Amino acid sequence: MQIGKTGAAESHICQAYPDRVEVRGLDLCRDLMGRMSFTEYFHLLLTGRKPTETQRDFLDLLLVAIAEHGMMPTSVAARMTLAADPGSLQGALAAGLLGCGPVILGTADLCAKLLAEAQAKVLAGGDAKTVAEQMARDIKSAGGKAPGFGHPVHRPLDPRTERILELADQRGVSGPHVALARHFRLAIAKVWGKPLVMNVSMPMAAVLLDLGFPVNVVKAIPLLARTAGILAHLAEEQVNPIGFLLAGKAEEATAYRSDQPGDKV
């Protein structure tokens, strides 16, 4: 019995033949290898289209911006996994990627959905500033958190955010979604009663949407970027292992309390 919705049994990505590999209708060896950068190839794989020069440059920029952010839980989990099983590089990488959720990696996908919804309201006749403020009020009244706002380290500004917006303006990429991101920055400050840091997830989503990326692929960009960062940590772990040190420090920092009757609390 089939469970859930399915599509046609076909794929448009790749097929291997005895004498060649075809990717998105192109010959891997003749058309792509030696002719296309990995960033361009990633765009082709993801969207089915070769990127424009601007799409390539900003995809590069965003991959660089989000790849690494220090000794985060994603890299710590990967390092400790490799320490426990030094032969499982793929398992350690997977362990790190499994923690790449909205708290650690960011909310670029949620920001993209928010911006796309806001833009739809604007296209239906709404004023961008009013739309952003009303959506901010709706989030706040529902007890939610505004995606793309807040950061535990970068205050009062996230330097990555400001650099992305600066380059988007300089290179003529800023469009309606970047404008909405800026409206949301002002709206969130007004509704929350204080300015909140616009973190890197919001301009990342805005620029990608203005460059024509579909909403559903936005999360792929930080995931690919963080894969590179985790692999760097694992390469370092192989020559300078600290995984067990990290695990030991976690144990030292955690107090044990027995639940047995009569134990001191």
pLDDT in 10s for each residue of the chain, 265 residues: 778 888 888 999 999 999 999 999 999 999 999 999 999 999 999 999 999 999 999 999 999 999 999 999 999 999 999 999 999 999 999 999 998 988 888 899 999 999 999 999 999 999 999 999 999 999 999 999 999 999 888 899 999 999 999 999 999 999 999 999 999 999 999 999 999 999 999 999 999 999 999 999 999 999 999 999 999 999 999 999 999 999 999 999 999 888 877 655 5
CATH hierarchy code of domain 16-100+220-247: 1.10.580.10
Rounded-to-integer distance, Cα 246 and Cα 234, Å? 14
Joined together, the tokens standing for residue 212 give 């024509």
216: left (phi over 0), alpha (psi -120 to 50) or beta: alpha
Q: What confidence score (pLDDT) does residue 8 get? A: 86
Who's near 265: CB < 8 A, 6+ residues apart? 257
Q: What confidence score (pLDDT) does residue 7 get? A: 83
The CB density around residue 36, as the number of other CB atoms within 10 Å, is 18
Backbone phi and psi for residue 90, each to the nearest 5 degrees, phi listed first: -65, -35
CATH hierarchy code of domain 108-217: 1.10.230.10
Rounded-to-integer distance, Cα 21 and Cα 44, Å? 15
The single-letter code of the amino acid at 139 is I
Joined together, the tokens standing for residue 60 give 């590069």
Does 108-217 match 16-100+220-247 at the fold level? no
Rounded-to-integer distance, Cα 144 and Cα 146, Å? 7
Q: What confidence score (pLDDT) does residue 159 get? A: 96
Give the residue extent of every domain in the chain: 16-100+220-247, 108-217
Joined together, the tokens standing for residue 220 give 């792929």
User: What is the biggest distance separating any 2 CA atoms in the chain, rounded to whole angstroms?
Assistant: 75
CA nearest to 69, candidates 187, 176, 193, 229: 229
